[in-house]
């Protein structure tokens, strides 16, 4: 009786993960992580050096690491007052609008570039990473040209947002 009780209690926990077919063999559900259904192939397995060799230290570069992180945060924090000021003060200053557009473009580019680096590492899928980086550069340039046209030949970004908000 106790083993039947324990088996029924455990089956309640196993039910979402595995099911049994007619032959009684356990089958894994479709979205379970397994080695058979990997999206990217495994990296090549190679050993460089011996176990006693120290880990290689990359050469320091100012655009990586803490400087890069600080720059990203400074741009993100700089967007806060530039987003609120034109709507709170009610003034339409083209210089403030241009700085806001520049920071939006920079913030978006850095964010999408970080996503590409995280999800498509160049050591694993070099052609895809290169293609996506060039695609990002193209979209960034197109966005910059579009916002420049909006700023110089139309009413500007903040006035456009005000008009859309009131529509």
Binding site for a ubiquinone, by residue number, is 119
- Contact at 8 Å (CB) between 120 and 129? yes
CA distance 139 to 117: 17
- Contact at 8 Å (CB) between 27 and 18? yes
Closest C-alpha to 110, from 144, 76, 82: 76
- Binding site for heme b, by residue number, is 107
* Those residues with Cβ within 8 angstroms of residue 161's Cβ, 6 or more apart along the chain or in another chain: 87
- Binding site, by residue number, is 107, 119
CA distance 110 to 50: 38
Give the relative orientation of helices 94-119 and 157-166 as an angle to the nearest 10 degrees: 90
- Contact at 8 Å (CB) between 118 and 128? no
């Amino acid at each position: 009786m106790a083993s039947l009780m324990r088996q029924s209690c455990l089956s309640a926990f196993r039910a979402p993960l595995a099911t049994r077919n007619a032959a009684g063999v356990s089958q894994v559900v479709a979205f379970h992580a397994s080695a058979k259904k990997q999206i990217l192939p495994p990296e090549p397995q190679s050993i460089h050096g011996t176990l006693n060799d120290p880990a290689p230290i990359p050469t320091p570069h100012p655009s990586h690491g803490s400087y890069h992180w600080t720059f990203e945060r400074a741009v993100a924090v700089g967007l806060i007052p530039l987003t609120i000021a034109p709507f709170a003060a009610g003034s339409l200053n083209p210089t403030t609008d241009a700085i806001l557009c520049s920071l939006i473009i920079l913030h978006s580019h850095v964010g999408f570039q970080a996503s590409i680096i995280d999800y498509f590492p160049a050591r694993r899928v070099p052609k895809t990473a290169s293609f996506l980086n060039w695609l990002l550069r193209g979209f960034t340039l197109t966005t910059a040209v579009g916002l420049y046209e909006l700023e110089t030949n139309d009413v500007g970004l903040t006035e456009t947002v005000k008009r859309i908000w009131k529509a």
